[in-house]
Amino acid sequence: MKNEVVVFELVGNTISSYEDSMGNRRKSAKSVGIPSQATILYEYPNGDTEIRNIRYMKNQKTIYVDEQPENADLIRQVSSPQFIDGHLAVKPSQSNLLEFLRKHPYNAANQHWDLDRQKVMFKERNPVAIAKELNSKNKQIVNASRLVYDSDFVGKIVPIAEYLGYDTNKESDLILWDIDTYARSNPEKFIDLLDSPMVERHTDITLAQRRGIIKIDGQRVIWSDGRQIVEVPTAFSPKEYFAEISFDEKYKSVWFELKRQLDNRPSVAEDSKTIAAPKTNKLDALSEINTLELIDVLKSNKTITWETPYYLINGKKIKGKDKLFDYVEKNKAELSLTLV
């Protein structure tokens, strides 16, 4: 490692843009020199600091002006280090140049000095740090992708897909593909969404809409009886806006009421008991459950099972939620009567 060339590279406004022959805007690092003399904040081993001047002279062992001889011939050795195409490679034999660049106030690593007219112009490329950062990012991507397939599809992945605006009325494999693509591009955001309160609120609002507890009327969110909950500003999506403000103290009672009505609807287990209870008229039993609720019940008693990529019901293989819904809808009477 000690014999390796050390590379410094330009950063910040030293990167310019230009238009290539095809008319595309591209970025390019400039070829520039940095000042051969500078003022630095010298740090002693005991923690004390002192303002000192440094100067790069090719044939001198020291970079500190107060340690360099004042000789006209030697002064001619002063030169400005040049970055060619945005890079400057320092050989192991150029120890004074290496020290000069590492101590220079324009080095990104020295910005904590906060000296007058100090700015960021270049930084040292650290292969180990770069590899470490890339490995960390790759681990995040792999972990996020794994979580897509390990997480509960209905309870986690579908709500996230709906929250992100993906079409969930399609094959489950296509939904997984969409979310996996998103997770690989945004691993941190995806991991945050897995347990996001905002996603949970979004899901509850969607469920409340499906069950007729609330409605969205233009830019208004209203109760099923027409009472207004909130009027949403034109620039906002009503569902997203309601989900966000539901955390405010002002809407605490509104959200409590919405959750109360959701909770008062029979859970999957309670649905099963209700449907299994004796009925004087089987048609009455059918009128008390909609198709989505019936699917939940059939899943809970294992009438509907999942074997990737199919739903299995009555010996039939059905691919996709929309096709499953259509099948249950068409055979609702037969399927419901088996639960009475």
Domain harbouring 251, CATH code:
3.30.250
Q: So what's the pLDDT on residue 278?
A: 36
Judgement on whether residues 106 and 118 belong to the same structural domain of the protein: yes
Q: So what's the pLDDT on residue 205?
A: 93
Cβ-contact 147, 190 below 8 angstroms: yes
Q: So what's the pLDDT on residue 77?
A: 74
Q: So what's the pLDDT on residue 285?
A: 42
Judgement on whether residues 286 and 209 belong to the same structural domain of the protein: no
Per the listing, tokens 């992708």 go with: 145
Judgement on whether residues 309 and 239 belong to the same structural domain of the protein: no
Instruction: Determine the Cα–Cα distance for residues 252 and 68; give it in Å rounded to an integer.
Output: 72
- Number of domains comprising the chain: 4
Q: So what's the pLDDT on residue 335?
A: 77
Judgement on whether residues 237 and 283 belong to the same structural domain of the protein: no
Q: Answer yes or no: is 285 within a domain.
A: yes
Judgement on whether residues 30 and 105 belong to the same structural domain of the protein: yes
Of 265, 287, 312, the one marking the end of a domain is 265
Judgement on whether residues 94 and 42 belong to the same structural domain of the protein: yes
Judgement on whether residues 39 and 116 belong to the same structural domain of the protein: yes
Q: Answer yes or no: is 1 within a domain.
A: no
Q: Answer yes or no: is 254 within a domain.
A: yes
Nearest Cα to 188, choosing from 135, 153, 141? 141
Structure tokens that stand for 337 in this block: 């009567």
Q: So what's the pLDDT on residue 266?
A: 53
Instruction: Determine the Cα–Cα distance for residues 62 and 55; give it in Å rounded to an integer.
Output: 9
* CA dihedral for 208, 210, 214, 217, sign (positive or negative): positive
Judgement on whether residues 17 and 120 belong to the same structural domain of the protein: yes
Q: So what's the pLDDT on residue 178?
A: 93
pTM above 0.75, yes or no: no
Instruction: Determine the Cα–Cα distance for residues 291 and 274; give it in Å rounded to an integer.
Output: 15
Please state the φ and ψ torsions of residue 331, each to the nearest 5 degrees. -110, 25
Instruction: Determine the Cα–Cα distance for residues 187 and 130; give it in Å rounded to an integer.
Output: 19
Mean pLDDT by 10 residues, the chain (340 residues): 79 64 63 89 91 90 88 72 88 91 93 89 84 88 92 91 90 91 93 92 91 92 93 91 93 93 63 36 49 80 83 86 85 70
Judgement on whether residues 218 and 249 belong to the same structural domain of the protein: yes
Q: Answer yes or no: is 179 within a domain.
A: yes
Q: What is the largest CA-CA distance in the chain?
A: 114
Q: So what's the pLDDT on residue 294?
A: 81
What residues make up the domain containing 59? 6-125
Of 265, 284, 303, the one marking the end of a domain is 265
Instruction: Determine the Cα–Cα distance for residues 219 and 289; give it in Å rounded to an integer.
Output: 30
